[in-house]
Structure 1
């Protein structure tokens, strides 16, 4: 059955189930549900309801109050109408969010860190230049309460929140640490719960791409009911979603081997010029897109990379499937040393996931009860499970870390190769990449649960609350089918057992060590795919790297707000509160690199083996260190809103607002945050506002206490020599990243100035325009291995801190290891303008609604450490293994028309043209063509409402990327790491369909 038929069948089954359920439940519905809320405007330009609303930009509640901090408010009805997959997916279409993470916006070659959830990135401030572990500068709230981390690296997967019971989402697009605490540097995203929902609602839908992949399904049901005469209320919901994902090879342009390479073969420089002018992307060797680009260091079936015998004629040759050798086919030369077009090189295969398959389960329940007329008690809990499964990089034998040594007498050597070795201890080093062996599979599971309980009430005209929250996340990963280094080197060192004449592992003939390697089967890496030539040996040599992490948070908070006294212009309002929070992190692993960081430890672990490279770890990939730590936070805040003038000429309203917070971290001491703001209405139709704030982000537990995490990646090392200093090599280099207990909080200054226009002469129209400027100092960041190597080279090979982070056997040999450590070394500046406009009016017998979100990015500058060049990101599509995009203009415009039961929404996303760059280097990177054209995406949504009893069914259909706009070709600089486009910015799935039914009674 085709995927299109599967899509239709699953949709029909889901719709039938919902229809039968809805019909049965509708018979018992006591009253129709409240009418859906209308979408609100930014900054409170249009109220969501007539009752008092907690404006997330402030802790103060006041009827008609407009916070000086810009707040974008969107109802979940509006978000799900245009993007039915999830609320976070819909938010990521808004221009305020950029470079967020999701299963379609993160690479899947490695599984060292859980970065595949739906992690929101407000303003792009959580886009470190080198660290891909996720946005950490956006505070996520659930109904005003801080959400604990869902992953041990400190990120929050917003998919865990109960979407069916969300009423709206408030997005504070300015610093808010004084009101809400750490992490609110870029702003706050508050998912507001519909606590009073009464009735039954649900959804059943299915989707698929026009190419027949990326199939997805979603089912959900929620109920709400009063009890005890209306004093109590109960909410329950359950949701299931599944996305089957897609492979890179599912898109034709991903199979072309595109990569950026130097455009000039044999580049020569003037004597007065630095070597970097001829490096790929240098002034004399600009980047160009090459096709069928391969890495020359190895060949898929295998290549002899070295020999202990000087002048051995087989070094450099390719190993054929029959064990013979032939000269390495160098293909067509390109301007990047170590790369070639065609021939015998290798690339990361396209069998990896472009969209990682993801299945999620959610459950939520809430019980509230009015103990008295003034006191309400509540308890609520949520649980979610996320399962991901994807293939990581294939098993490889990379000489710098995992190449195997084949000694004379190995029975798998051809007679010619064996004869070229003279003594019994002579050997070859063999490398191999993707000879056809099975891919390694990563399975991730995150179980997350959160409980909130507390009391809210009124006392003498004041509102108060006391709450307790507990969050608990358990993340497990198993990366199976990886080369287990200890077993691999035992199996690869094969000999003939003189007593039996059978091929066996050499170490089994040594009685001192035989028991340690019981069950060893020899592996043959000299005849192509070892899983076929020696299946038992391959099975023995592979294993599963595992780690398990838990992060917990307990939080107690008390809040009090209301009016102190009245002034002529109105009441003076205040909010005060205190919070205590404790977090603990525990991460365990069966492949902790720190257990092999001394010669004695390595000697004991690899006892009895020979030919093990000095940087070999437990597994080919996924060597995750342990992490254990805890912290506690004590904080108190106060906020005050003072009206100055009201109903005066040119001062229809004038008020000031201030907030301050003192926070004490057990790990880094005390820090203060503050905010001052003002609003001014010169006339009824115009509100002007401004704020200035100091905000912070404290280092999280993983940044402080993480153990060594191993990695590997291609670098261009100008210091290596294949004949002359500065000639450069492109090869894999091992890295180790670890935490830093001496980290301090990041500090930010945020300025916003803007206004809201609601002209009385143009009913239904509102416009807000807000300028923002943010500067973050002491920003926690890490240099990439490439930056560390390049900075050391530019300093002449010594004399800077980066050189101390590089391990080399000799001054001009390829690094054996690069150490990466986070530090408060960076700063970041960004500035821009947000536009939010809406218009609603009657049209014929229907209603017309228009909404525009637009952002202009004026500046996004970053400096990774003192003295480094300032990287200018505004208007740049960043080329690399972790691409990011910073278009000057981004926008989302939607037109919605409804007439009776029928409704249609047409939306346009706009991504402005960009230029290609790799910012932050000592010299500008050059491209033969650095222009990326502007891109428009058109989405279409249609709905039809069918009344049923006291409620209705809504049949809906969506087409995403209606005109099947293909992404621009923007490969990376290492072939095969990602799809050859900027996955952080552009849609690569293409035209996709979703259809389903929603019901509400």
Structure 2
């Protein structure tokens, strides 16, 4: 499993069929009536759409391409462009400020990382004007470019290629490509100011931007462009929305036996911890249930129904619940500056230089330090209340077993600062050879991303244990036991019996700040050439060829306490590593038919790329495509490709990060539940590239008898072999129990046989297979006869996932129609809704635009391996659950825009409302290994509620 080789299988990427939308957007339509885009791309002549290096539009491309213009993005008026992109049905499980606001990770809090078809951000290649964007995190699962760094006020359009594109664009394009095309020739001044807030008065957001461009020099051959943006949001603290009055989770049925017909897992609300409270609770012995409140007040705790995974239902759950303490959305603040200067020396030679700087600061409050029934307090502890001391003595006990969530310490404060600098110099131009025109471009780009991750208010475990062992000195004062023998040790006693009972000095002594700093560097040199060397009877043959060399590296540092694994969370380790990539490609498009008796057109295309990695050697990727139009009204298209994704820096070279582990079941030790081990993340330099085989078949309709209508449907089938996955701790245990000795080597036990450390390096052990259908229809109906007059537009996009099979060394699971997270207790892998769709109906004229969008997600399951039953469950089957269903989600969004004057200079006021009816999200219970509701699942469902945005934009 851990040697870098894997098994056959395959999960895939949906090839979102979008040539119809591309044709609609690029033909003008509503875009011509907005100030966000001066002219539709089609009006500018030939357009290079990202599905190919060859000049053509998305309608002619064999690979489906969704083209979103600046006008489409402006229609939603999102504070972050990623919010709009994540509504596309083909984009699933993107990392956002609300999808994982509690993670204590290497810089991934607050980022926006796009994930095509749920394959994860690491398999989606993000480009800016066709150039690679450096990753924003060293976190192995989130090592991808952050959309927050893109100069959003200059975006002219976004091309989304939902299919393998490695042969054309290189590694990481296994799931597809998202290319942000900037308006590099913008001339004039434009700006925007946007503000937003939820119906609950939180998550206030803002976006203020300004851009200016001007020509200079003889005949305006020179051009200079500058833009700046300041944006962010204030986050959502706590998790107390009306639909979460008492939490809820998956928990183990305490009454389950192999023969009583009851389900092994139960779903319930009013969930709290059964072995920890903020002020401490005695969890064993005759004093069990004695808990300590404000000021150390002693009470008796009502346990309700206790589960076997540190959870309980009912009783005094409000005292011990944890789901309402962390942030629902992380706070974010970012600055982006971009500058570009170019000069056309001749038609064949245009030189340019670009500079870009971005800084984002993100923060969140995550879970507090927890000792879940595993803190031993000696009987002579000076802080034990007198009444409890008497009961302790009467019972003949010399110690107490305590559980606490350390209310006096509070939550861990995570803060990530990311600073990106990028420089690029290059040139481009065109020249004629014979009757053909050739285009060339070449550039050198240097990018640097420095990420500082801190976890403040973080318990230093050794100090905590030292400080909680408090006794009275011979003089009668309370001191640490260690101070009796080492008077100068500086220890400050800490009281675990109650809340509001500790001084700031005591808290400061047992806490510190975990610190990690990573510097990512990426240098890229590339050159491309496109043209038409020859012609066939059907037209010119187009080719594109190019070379690229890339160098990527990471260097870092961490605090001494981190390096010594001294914190309760964080425990970062400095990482160092680098690799080089050299690659070359050639692409060709050959027309075979044009206005023939055999059909309107037939084009065959192909691409091949040879890539050499300094870490894993050489690999060849390729792609074949066919587009056939028997008549002008219909086009058939097909693609077949071999794609790869090479392991990233984090997967290869991470020195590790450790934290307290979640609950695991020790299969080799009487199925005991263990929550006291250290979970260690680290890299695996033996990883090999992932390999995918992709098939896409589609048809595009543009009926001449109904002008303005375009429709498309595409079938996809993709297999991925040797997929890299980070196993969770339970998977490592299960593999070891099944006889995998390599997995056993990653488990460390103490002399008593209890697990103390579980390492989980990534490995090539997952294979995936996905099949599905994507469809799209777009219709524009002019109301006054003129193409640019008032009109009604209808657009509908949908994606249906037939199968999403995940095969690892333990089991095969089905991820299609799964939107829950079961914590790895049963086999799971990538998952996505069975069906997602967006339908937009809009009206626009020269001064007013209104649109309503319906967003739908079909019903889903927590996990397809689970059997749902409440009685008469299969005997001896532990994969049974009382409720395995997640209901559908149906939301409506509204957007309004008003232009006081239709001509230049232009201004526009706008109002947008997401989730107009404040629909309650589907209930997705918390993970079974956590034992409490954590607000899941931000990847798919709106956990925030109704949101308002309004603002003003202008262009001159």
Task: Please say whether Structure 1 and Structure 2 have the same fold, judged by a TM-score greater than 0.5.
Answer: yes
How far is the alpha carbon of 1:564 from its aligned partner?
Answer: 1.3
**1:817 matches 2:757:** yes
Give the counterpart of 2:94 among 97, 100, 111.
100
Cα deviations by residue, 1:838-873 (Å, 9 ceiling, x for unpaired): 1112114611222121111111111123xx211101
| 1:104 positional shift | 1.2
Report the Cα distance in structure 1 between the residues aligned to 2:934 and 2:60, rounded to whole angstroms. Answer: 45
- Supply the distance in 1 between the matched residues of 2:289 and 2:735 (Cα, whole angstroms): 31
Report the Cα offset of residue 196 of structure 1. 1.4
In structure 2, what is the equivalent of residue 490 of structure 1? 466
The range that moved more, 936-945 or 247-256, is: 247-256
Query: CA 1:63 to 1:261, structure 2 compared with 1: closer, same or farther past 3 Å?
Result: closer
Check 1:317–1:924 CA distance in 2 against 1; reply closer, same or farther (3 A cut): closer
CA 1:828–1:592: 2 relative to 1, 3 Å: farther
Indicate how the Cα distance of structure 1 residues 950 and 113 shifts in structure 2: closer, same or farther if over 3 A, else same.
closer
Contact 1:393-1:440 within 8 A present in 2 as well: yes
Equivalent position of 1:220 in the other structure: 209
Structure 1 vs Structure 2 CA RMSD:
3.0
Per-residue CA deviations over 1:204-262 (Å, capped at 9, x if unaligned) read 11111112222111111111111113101111111111211112334123340211234
Q: How does 1:172-321 map to 2 (within 5 A)?
A: 172-228=161-217, 229-262=219-252, 264-270=253-259, 284-304=262-282, 313-314=286-287, 317-319=290-292
Change (3 A) 1:817 1:304: farther
Residue in structure 1 matched with residue 131 of structure 2 by the alignment: 145
Q: CA deviation at 1:745?
A: 0.6
* Superposed displacement of residue 588, structure 1: 1.5
Deviation per CA, 1:90-146: give whole Å up to 9, x if none: 1110101011110011141534552531100001111xxxxxxxx200000101111
Note if contact 1:107-1:977 (Cα within 8 Å) is conserved in structure 2.
no
Deviation at 1:645, TM superposition (A): 2.0
Match of 1:997 in 2: 952
Structure 1 pair 584–386 and aligned structure 2 pair: CA distance change class (3 A): same
Is residue 2:555 matched to residue 1:576? Answer: no
Report how many aligned residue pairs link the two structures: 896
Structure 1's 290 and 973: CA in aligned 2 closer, same or farther, altered over 3 A? Answer: same
Contact kept? 1:703, 1:740, Cα under 8 Å = yes
| 2:430 paired residue among 434, 458, 462 | 458
CA contact under 8 A between 1:290 and 1:341: conserved in structure 2? no
Output the CA distance in 2 between the equivalents of 1:622 and 1:333.
Answer: 30
Gaps of 5+ in 2: 1-27, 35-39, 868-875
Q: Tell me the distance in 1 between the aligned counterparts of 2:543 and 2:912.
A: 46
The CA distance in 2 between the partners of 1:745 and 1:448, in whole Å, is 27
- C-alpha distance after superposition, 1:468-521 (max 9, x if no partner): 1111111112221111223323322333343x443323333435xx65x3x322
855, 880, 883: which one pairs with 1:926? 880
Question: Alignment partner for residue 880 of structure 1, among 809, 822, 831?
Answer: 822
Instruction: Provide the rounded CA distance (Å) in 2 between the counterparts of 1:639 and 1:988.
Output: 45
State whether residues 720 and 729 of structure 1, in contact with CA within 8 Å, keep that contact through their aligned partners in structure 2: no
Alignment partner, residue 927 of structure 2: 973
> What is the distance in 2 between the residues matched to 1:112 and 1:54?
36
**Cα distance, 1:305 vs. partner?**
5.3
The aligned runs of 1:472-483 (5 Å cut-off) are 472-483=448-459
What do the CA deviations read for 1:958-1000 (whole angstroms, capped 9, x no partner)? 1111111110112113567654442211112222111111111
Tell me if the contact between 1:385 and 1:445 (Cα under 8 Å) persists in the aligned partners.
yes
Deviation at 1:376, TM superposition (A): 0.2
For 2:604, the equivalent position in structure 1 comes to: 656
Q: Greater relative contact order: 1 or 2 (C-alpha under 8 angstroms, separation 6 or more)? A: 2
Partner in structure 1 of residue 447 of structure 2: 471
In structure 1, what is the equivalent of residue 594 of structure 2? 646
Does residue 913 of structure 1 match 2:866?
A: no
How far residue 437 of structure 1 moved from its aligned partner, in angstroms, is 3.6
The answer (yes or no) to whether the contact 2:480–2:492 under 8 Å persists in 1 is yes
| Contact 1:546 1:591 survives alignment (8 Å) | no
3-state DSSP of counterpart to 1:947 = coil
- Whether 2:558 is the aligned partner of 1:589: answer yes
Whether contact under 8 Å (1:897, 1:903) holds in the other structure is: yes
SS at match of 2:600: strand
1:716–1:730: 8 Å Cα contact kept in structure 2?
A: yes
- Change in Cα spacing, 1:418 to 1:505, as seen in structure 2 (3 Å) is farther
Secondary structure (helix, strand or coil) at the match of 1:917 reads coil
Return the offset for 1:69: 1.2
Distance 1:678 1:592, change over 3 A: farther
In 1: Cα distance, 2:639 partner to 2:152 partner: 32
Q: Secondary structure at the match of 2:243?
A: helix
* Aligned match for 2:620, one of 672, 677, 680: 672
Alignment partner, residue 696 of structure 2: 752
Tell me, in whole angstroms, the C-alpha distance in 1 between the residues paired with 2:528 and 2:296.
75
* Kept after mapping to 2: 8 A contact 1:234/1:367: yes
Give the alignment partner of residue 635 of structure 2, picking from 681, 684, 687. 687
CA–CA distance in structure 1, aligned partners of residues 231 and 206 of structure 2? 6
Distance 1:504 1:189 in 2: 60
Greater Cα shift, 79-88 or 235-244: 79-88
Match of 1:26 in 2: none
Q: 8 Å contact 1:368–1:376 — kept in the other structure?
A: yes
Match of 1:700 among 635, 648, 656: 648
Q: Which residue of 1 aligns with 2:9?
A: none
Q: What CA distance in whole angstroms lies between the structure 2 residues aligned with 1:905 and 1:384? A: 33
What is the aligned partner in structure 2 of residue 775 from structure 1?
719
Question: Offset at 1:414?
Answer: 4.8
Q: 2:621·2:644 contact (CA, 8 Å) conserved in 1?
A: yes
**Cα offset, 1:877, TM superposition:** 2.1
Q: Distance in 2 between matches of 1:651 and 1:949?
A: 44
Of stretches 663-672 and 391-400 in structure 1, the one that deviates more from structure 2 is 391-400
Q: Is the 8 A contact 1:111 1:479 kept in 2?
A: no
1:908 shift after superposition: 1.1
Contact 2:65 2:160 in 1 (8 A): yes
| CA displacement 1:356-398 (0-9 Å, x = unmatched) | 1111111111111102232000111221111112112113334
Cα distance in 1 between the residues matched to 2:750 and 2:315 = 32
Q: Which residue of 1 aligns with 2:51?
A: 57
Secondary structure of the equivalent of 1:100?
Answer: coil
Q: How does 1:710-749 map to 2 (within 5 A)?
A: 710-717=658-665, 719=667, 725-726=670-671, 728-729=672-673, 731=675, 733-749=677-693
1:421-461 Cα deviation digits (max 9, x unpaired): 89x99655543114344322122111112222101122443
Picking from 474, 483, 497, the partner of 1:508 is 483
Name the SS of the counterpart of 1:581 in structure 2. Answer: strand
DSSP 3-state at the match of 2:515: strand
**Structure 2 residue 909 is matched with structure 1 residue 961:** no
| Mapping of residues 379-528 of structure 1, within 5 Å | 379-398=353-372, 403=375, 405-407=376-378, 409-414=380-385, 417=389, 427-459=399-431, 460=433, 461-498=437-474, 500-511=475-486, 517=489, 519-525=490-496, 527-528=497-498
What secondary structure is seen at the aligned counterpart in 2 of 1:878? coil
In the TM superposition, residue 74 of structure 1 has moved relative to its aligned partner by: 1.0
1:792 CA displacement = 4.3
2:15 matched residue in structure 1? none
Contact 2:530 2:544 in 1 (8 A): yes
Partner of 1:546: 515
* Counterpart contact for 2:591–2:603, Cα < 8 Å: yes
The 10-residue stretch of structure 1 (321-330 or 752-761) with the greater mean CA deviation from structure 2: 321-330
Contact 1:746/1:778, CA 8 A, preserved across alignment: yes
TM-fit CA distance, 1:934: 2.5
TM-score by length of 2: 0.88
* SS of alignment partner, residue 730 of structure 2: helix
Q: Is the 8 A contact 2:267 2:881 kept in 1?
A: no
Classify 1:550/1:444 alpha carbon distance in 2 versus 1 (closer, same or farther; 3 Å): same
Q: Does 1:627 align with 2:575?
A: yes
- The answer (yes or no) to whether the contact 1:475–1:550 under 8 Å persists in 2 is yes
SS of the equivalent of 1:440 reads strand
Tell me if structure 2 keeps the 8 A contact 1:903–1:943.
yes
Match of 1:556 among 507, 525, 548: 525
